[in-house]
Amino acid sequence: MSLQATKELEVGDRVVNKTFPPISRHTLALYCGASGDHNPIHVDLDFAKKAGFDDVFAHGMLVMAYLGQALTDAVTPGAILSFSTRFAAITQLGTKLTCEGEVVELFEAVGEKTSAAFPYCQE
């Protein structure tokens, strides 16, 4: 993720820190409707068990949306030049996510002072 500097940032500065309520079945159902992603593995317990999982689990893009919300709560959306993610694990039902991020690099791009941050979510 790259950010336009809106203030003097330094490597190691925390730019994101937000905790979300536990992910519930209700949240997953709402996300299905909002996103159009109706994959039953996220809402149908029997389907998830037949697929070898103990329970349903969160959509990866839902977790990315939480991270995006945490980021835009901390940084003016217009200052975000790019945002990408890598999905490293399944997010289980009931997980209480904490999203954090810190500046890892300072550089200049197109004549603008810019910083690179590393935001992530964890249990």
Q: What is the per-residue DSSP string for 83-107?
A: ------S--BTT---EEEEEEEEEE
Cβ–Cβ under 8 Å, residues 6 and 76: yes
For 91-114, what is each residue's pLDDT tens digit?
999 999 998 888 888 777 767 776
Q: What is residue 2's predicted lDDT score, i.e. its pLDDT?
A: 46
Q: Is 71 exposed, middle or buried (0-12, 13-18, 19+ CB in 10 A)?
A: buried
Number of domains in the chain: 1
For 37-69, what is each residue's pLDDT tens digit?
999 999 999 999 999 999 999 999 999 999 999
Residue 7 has pLDDT above 70, yes or no: no
**pLDDT above 70 covers what percent of the chain?**
89
Residue 1 has pLDDT above 80, yes or no: no
Domain boundaries, position 92: 2-122
3 state SS of 20: coil
Higher per-residue pLDDT: 2 or 24? 24
Higher per-residue pLDDT: 123 or 99? 99
The pair of structure tokens assigned to 114 is: 């810019």
- At 78, the pLDDT band (50, 70, 90 cuts) reads confident
d(CA 44, CA 91): 16
Q: What is residue 44's predicted lDDT score, i.e. its pLDDT?
A: 97
- Which of 15-19, 21-25, 106-110 bottoms out in mean pLDDT, i.e. has the lowest? 106-110
Task: Residue 96: give its domain's CATH number.
Answer: 3.10.129.10
